[in-house]
């Protein structure tokens, strides 16, 4: 019998003891076409303190807007460290159609699991400076003043992005019902 990482596995206080080997922080194998990006961030509680025992999962399409494949899995998982940090190396996804058939802006779906939380949190990461953000049907549902919580920020080097998850308070990340 072999064990493989699957989505939505339970996270508890023993995450770092038993589940960190299931981390998948590098999504694209060598030779997969697309713009290489890295996304790093922190999960912070309502007091601005790091959450050191959370698990962040991401789902995304490849650069052509296709989910899954032989060389690009489109699924990743990163456990937060002692400072609440998570990280992924992937490619910028292409546009995909929504349930109504309208094209969505490139985005990455995010699920956050953590101890003490009975239901996972669902969010999205959008890309800074992306023209398609203006017409994204999901982003349009979010009040304009809160959309910034879903858009990553550029960091120093090319392709480096930062996206933080704020669990509550003034700058709380937008979460969606699932």
Q: DSSP characters for the chain? A: ------TT----TTHHHHTGGG-B-B-BPTT--S-EEEEEEEEE-TTS-B-TTEEEEEE-B-TTS-B--SSB--EEEEE--TTSEEEEEEE-----B-TTSPBPPSEEEEEEEETT-SS-EEEEEE-TT-GGGGG-TTGGGS-GGGGGGGB-EE-SSTTEEE--EE-SSTTPPP-B--
Q: What is the domain-level CATH number for residue 103?
A: 2.60.130.10
**36 vs 114, which has greater pLDDT?**
36
88 inside domain: yes
Residue 171 placed within a domain: no
Would 9 be classed as within a structural domain? no
Q: Tens digits of per-residue pLDDT, 56-83?
A: 999 999 999 999 877 788 999 999 999 9
Domain range for 45 is: 15-166
Number of domain units in the chain: 1
Is 156 contained in some domain?
yes
Residue 29 lies in a domain: yes
pLDDT at position 9 is 45
Q: In this structure, what token pair is assigned to residue 77?
A: 């998982």
Whether residue 1 is contained in a domain is answered as no
The residue among 131 and 157 whose pLDDT is bigger is 131
Q: How far apart are CA 154 and CA 160, in angstroms?
A: 6
pTM of the model: 0.87
Q: Is residue 89 domain-resident?
A: yes
Instruction: Kindly tell me the burial class for residue 145, based on how many C-beta atoms sit within 10 Å of its own C-beta (0-12, 13-18, 19 or more).
Output: exposed
**Band (8; pLDDT cuts 50, 70, 90):** very low
Query: Is the residue at 178 inside a domain?
Result: no
């Amino acid at each position: 019998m072999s064990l493989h990482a699957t989505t939505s596995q339970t996270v508890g206080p023993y995450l770092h003891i038993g589940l960190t080997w299931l981390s998948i922080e590098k999504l694209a194998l060598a030779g997969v076409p697309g713009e290489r990006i890295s996304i790093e961030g922190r999960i912070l509680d309502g007091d601005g303190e790091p959450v050191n025992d959370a698990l962040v999962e991401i789902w995304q399409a490849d650069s052509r807007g296709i989910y899954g494949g032989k060389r690009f899995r489109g699924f990743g998982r990163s456990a937060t460290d002692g400072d609440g940090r998570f990280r992924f190396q992937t490619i910028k996804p292409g546009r995909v159609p929504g349930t109504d058939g309208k094209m969505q802006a490139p985005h990455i779906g995010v699920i956050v699991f953590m101890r003490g939380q009975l239901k996972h949190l669902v969010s999205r990461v959008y890309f800074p400076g992306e023209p398609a953000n203006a017409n994204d049907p999901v982003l349009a549902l979010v009040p304009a003043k809160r959309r910034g919580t879903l858009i990553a920020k550029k960091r120093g080097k090319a392709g480096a992005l930062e996206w933080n998850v704020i669990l509550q308070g003034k700058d709380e990340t937008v979460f969606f019902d699932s």
